[in-house]
Amino acid sequence: MSKKRFQNQVVVVTGASSGIGRAAALAFAREGATTVLLSRSREKLEKVAEEIGAFSEGVFVAPADVSSKQEVDAAIANVLAKFGRIDVLFNNAGKSEVGPTDAPWFIEGVQEMFDVDFLGTVRVTQAVLPAMRRQRAGRILNMSSVVGRKAFARFGGYSSIMHAIVGYTDALRQELKGTGIEVSIIHPALTQTPLLASVRPEDMPPPFRRLSPIPAGQVAEAALKGLSKNRPRIVVPWQPKLLMLAQAISPRLGDLVVTLLQTRMFSWVFRTFRGRTYQHSSS
């Protein structure tokens, strides 16, 4: 029997009550980790803990709102008091808004996303880092998105926050070089999670109307594989790498690829559309 990749490691997953966070928590537990579930709702976390409890005793519920430094610090202190260490942190908690950049709610929406998605990542990381520094070991994985490398129209607020997380992660990785703490970022494509469940199909960014969302479990497996190999950047699936390359060469070329994502021929050749959309598969 092959050795489990995260055997006896303490792994903290934020946003663990649903979507990618839930899938990652289950995956870490199956790989031998003691999985710490962190999110706002204790009730939802207890349900995930029950799922993990069916095959592992290594699960711990730590409710906290990542927009509250007090709650985050208290939750991480409880984890350290119980286990004495944190080996892996997966900063996954977040929210999203869809709409044009001149919408009346745009500034307020971006401020809220910034507090949860970006500053939430910073708060949890700062709470965990002292323990990892004492251990001289640890791994941090921050959630971004494909739109953290190339923005889409009607997704400007979320794209901006994801770009900010990329900048923070890049700086953090360099600052922690030589400490034994590895830092990575993951860029998933459109994923079937509750993040956009309330968005009307007609309000979706145009490319999303010809994209089939990937399962949360696929993102979770990519996260575990990337962490186990200490990859600084994880992109899932492979197709977004073409968009990132195009954007790196020229913004106009990046814009062209975004336009092509909306066409039948491109989606057929590169297998980005499989006959279902985000809204259809969420039902």
Per-residue model confidence as pLDDT tens digits over 252-272: 999 999 999 999 999 989 999
pLDDT the model gives residue 282: 46
The alpha carbon of 100 is separated from its chain's Cα centroid by a whole number of angstroms, namely: 23
Mean pLDDT for 195-201 is 78
Structure tokens at 61: 């519920």
* Element at 42 (helix H, strand E): helix 42-53
Say yes or no to pLDDT of 68 above 70: yes
Mean pLDDT for 70-98 is 97
Phi, psi of 139 (to 5 degrees): -135, 135
Mean pLDDT for 62-83 is 98
Q: How far apart are CA 8 and CA 98, in angstroms?
A: 40
Q: How far apart are CA 160 and CA 71, in angstroms?
A: 26
Mean pLDDT for 145-160 is 96
CATH topology of domain 10-282: Rossmann fold (3.40.50)
Mean pLDDT for 56-68 is 97
pLDDT the model gives residue 133: 98
Q: How far apart are CA 107 and CA 124, in angstroms?
A: 24
Question: So where are the chain's domains?
Answer: 10-282
pLDDT the model gives residue 210: 86
Q: Is 158 a catalytic residue?
A: yes
Q: How far is CA 29 from CA 155, 182, 208, in A?
A: 33, 21, 32
Phi, psi of 224 (to 5 degrees): -65, -40
Catalytic option among 6, 118, 155, 158: 158
Report the candidate in 222, 227, 221, 256 with the shortest Cα–Cα distance to residue 242.
256
- What is the per-residue pLDDT across 168-185, written as a single tens digit (0 to 9) for each? 999 999 999 999 999 999
